[in-house]
Amino acid sequence: MTTLLNDEIITTPPRDAATVILLRDAEPDVEVLLLKRGNSTTVMSNAWVFPGGKVDDADFNHTEQITASLGDTPQALLAEPELSTAHASALFYAACRETQEETGVTLKPQQLTPWSRWITPNEPSMMKKRFDARFFIARMPTGQTAVHDGSETTDSRWLTPRNALEAYCANEITLAPPQIMTLAALARHPDTAACLAFATSQATYCIQPGVLKDNGNRTLTYPGDIEHPLDEHLMPGPTRLTWKDNHFEPVSGFEAFFKD
């Protein structure tokens, strides 16, 4: 499976997006839902992603509904007090809307727990578009079934985080770096309850990857790496991924995904 890297500096501002990491318990490990984007989509064509997408203007029309259902301010839940109530509410609404459109699964805002925030760098990385994406985590609701929509998404799989990373490193599926690092973090937890407990026990981290190019080789750096502006290691997993054999992987090999 071939992945093309972007070589252009991206000058446009990042577009707001919302993503939901849907989890279910399965023996012996937790499983996560991945959807395959259709090859006609303009963003991450044929890649495997979590349900989600861009925040639409209409998502800002549900502020009262969202704030009433959350029982707290959406800004506080996102750990982003600088956001307006309408902006923060739109992110929760878009996350639920996109999940329903792409999988048929209906979620309520109060079922979402903020997990992380990813901002696409200006430097060439993987995509030609920039996003400011908030990632939420949620338990798969009882009695519902996730089914890809057949147009924007053409396939779906429940995989353990480790199995998903194994398939990626074998070039069987394509993943974007935020999905790669999220799966590495999820792999540390045995079930959905542990994932949710981890999400609620810490502040939502914001990741802005750095990009290094050395003799044509591309490396992404994350907080805590010696080449990244932030010294603090904000998330589990390796602090850098290097492009090798048509995919990004830790410099010291696959098992580094699961070491702190």
Q: Is the pLDDT of residue 76 over 90?
A: yes
Residue 228 within any structural domain of the chain: no
Of 41-55, 81-95, 241-255, least confident by mean pLDDT is 41-55
The whole-number pLDDT of residue 43 equals 56
Confidence of residue 28 (pLDDT cuts 50, 70, 90): confident
Q: What is the pLDDT of residues 159-168, one digit of tens each?
A: 999 999 999 9
Q: Is the pLDDT of residue 52 over 90?
A: yes
For 108, the domain range is 15-204
The torsion region of residue 233 among left (phi > 0), alpha (psi -120 to 50) and beta comes to beta
The whole-number pLDDT of residue 2 equals 45
The whole-number pLDDT of residue 125 equals 53
Q: Is the pLDDT of residue 1 over 50?
A: no
Helix (H, G, I), strand (E, B) or coil at 200: helix
Q: What is the pLDDT of residues 84-136, one digit of tens each?
A: 999 999 999 999 999 999 999 999 999 999 999 999 887 655 556 789 999 99
Residue 257 within any structural domain of the chain: no
Instruction: Kindly give the interhelix angle for 177-186 and 161-169, rounded to the nearest 10 degrees.
Output: 140
What's the CATH code of the domain at 34?
3.90.79.10
Give the predicted TM-score (pTM) of the model: 0.92
Mean per-residue pLDDT of the chain: 90
CA 156 to each of CA 47, 97, 107, 192: distance values in angstroms, whole numbers, following the listed order: 11, 18, 18, 19
For residues 247 and 174, what is the distance between their CA atoms, to the nearest angstrom?
8
Q: What is the pLDDT of residues 183-193, one digit of tens each?
A: 999 999 999 99
The whole-number pLDDT of residue 174 equals 93
Q: Is the pLDDT of residue 82 over 50?
A: yes
Q: What is the pLDDT of residues 2-19, one digit of tens each?
A: 444 556 666 678 899 999
Residue 245 within any structural domain of the chain: no
Report the percent of the chain where pLDDT is more than 90: 76
73 vs 202, higher pLDDT: 73
Write down the residue that tokens 């792409």 correspond to. 102
For residues 236 and 223, what is the distance between their CA atoms, to the nearest angstrom?
10
CA atoms within 13 A on the CB side of 249: 17
Find all residues with CB under 8 Å of 23, minimum gap 6, and list them. Answer: 30, 31, 32, 33, 137, 138, 139, 140, 186, 192, 195
For residues 254 and 60, what is the distance between their CA atoms, to the nearest angstrom?
41
For residues 115 and 197, what is the distance between their CA atoms, to the nearest angstrom?
11
Residue 144 within any structural domain of the chain: yes
The whole-number pLDDT of residue 67 equals 96
Residue 2 within any structural domain of the chain: no
Q: Cis link prior to 28 (omega < 30° from 0)?
A: yes
Residue 195 within any structural domain of the chain: yes
Residue 231 within any structural domain of the chain: no
The whole-number pLDDT of residue 259 equals 87
Q: What is the pLDDT of residues 199-235, one digit of tens each?
A: 999 889 999 999 888 766 889 999 999 999 999 999 9
- Average pLDDT score over residue span 142-153: 92
Residue 115 within any structural domain of the chain: yes
Contact between 85 and 61 under an 8 Å Cβ cutoff? The reply is no
Count of the separate structural domains present in the chain = 1
The torsion region of residue 142 among left (phi > 0), alpha (psi -120 to 50) and beta comes to beta
